[in-house]
A and B are shown apart, each in its own frame.
Chain A
Amino acid sequence: MNRQTRPVTWRTPAGVLKARAFSSRLFDEHRSAWLLLIVFGVEVGLGILAMRDLLATYDEVESVCAGSVRGLRSIGELQYEAQEARRTTLYALTTNDGNLQVEYADQSRGADRFVTEGIMQYLAQSRIPRETEAGKRLASDWDAYLKARDDVLGLILEGSIKEAVRVDLTLGVALFDRVRQDLEEIKRLYDDQASQHLVLVTSSSRRSVLKLICGFGFALLFASAAIWAIQRNRMRNEVQLAKLQMDFVTSVSHELRTPITAILCASENLRDGFARRKEDLVEQGSIIVDQAAQLSGLVDQVLLFAATRTEPRYPLRPLQVSEIIASALKNMAVLLERSGFTVEQRIQQGLPQVVGDLQAISKCLQNLIENAVKYSPEERQIGLSARFDNSATDKKEVQISIQDRGFGISSSDLSRIFEPFFRSPRVVAAQIHGTGLGLSIAKSIVEAVGGRLSVVSEAGVGSTFTLHLPVAEGDAQPDTVRSAAGPGEATT
Chain B
Amino acid sequence: MRLLRALLIWLAVVLLFDLPPHGSVEATAGLPERRNVPHEILAIIVNRSNPVKNLTFEELRKIFMGERSRWPNGHRVIVTMMEPGHPEREVMLRDVYRMTEKDYLDHFLKGTYTGDIPVSPKTLSSSDILRKFVFNAPGAIGYLRASDVDGSVKVVRIDGHLPDDLEYKLQIGGLGK
Contact = CB atoms under 8 A, between A and B. Distances in A.
Q: Give yes or no for direct A-B contact (beta carbon below 8 Å).
A: yes
Interface of A: 98-99, 101-103, 105-106, 150, 153-154, 157-160
Contact of A102 (B76, B78, B129, B139): B129
Given A98-B124, A99-B125, A154-B138, A159 B133 contact: no
Contacts of B136: 102, 105, 150, 153-154, 157
Nearest to B49: A154
Interface string B46-79: 0000000000000000000000000000011010
B125 to A, nearest CB: 5
A158 B80 contact: no
Contacts of A101: 133
Given A153-B137, A154-B139, A159-B78, 10 more contacts: A98-B80, A98-B122, A98-B133, A99-B124, A102-B132, A154-B75, A154-B138, A157-B78, A157-B137, A158-B78
B137 A154 contact: yes
A158 B139 contact: yes
A79 B1 CA distance: 84
Given A98-B80, A98-B122, A102-B136, A158 B75 contact: yes
Given A157-B78, A158-B75, A159-B119, A102 B140 contact: no
Given A98-B123, A98-B124, A99-B124, A157 B133 contact: yes
Contacts of A105: 132-133, 136
A158 B120 CA distance: 11
Given A154-B138, A158-B139, A102 B119 contact: no
Given A98-B124, A99-B125, A102-B124, A158 B132 contact: no
Interface string B132-159: 1100111110000000000000000000
Interface residues of B, number: 18
* Interface SS majority for chain A: helix
Contact of B140 (A106, A150, A157, A160): A157
Interface in B62-116: 75-76, 78, 80
Contacts of B126: 99
A292 B126 CA distance: 133
Interface string B148-175: 0000000000000000000000000000
A102 B135 CA distance: 10
B20 to A, nearest CB: 32
26 contacts: A98-B124, A98-B133, A99-B124, A99-B125, A99-B126, A99-B129, A101-B133, A102-B133, A102-B136, A105-B136, A106-B132, A150-B136, A153-B136, A153-B137, A154-B136, A154-B138, A154-B139, A157-B137, A157-B140, A158-B137, A158-B138, A158-B139, A158-B140, A159-B76, A159-B78, A159-B119
Contacts of A106: 132
Contact of A160 (B76, B125, B132): B76
A105 B132 CA distance: 8
A102 B122 CA distance: 11
Contacts of B78: 157-159
Contacts of B138: 154, 158
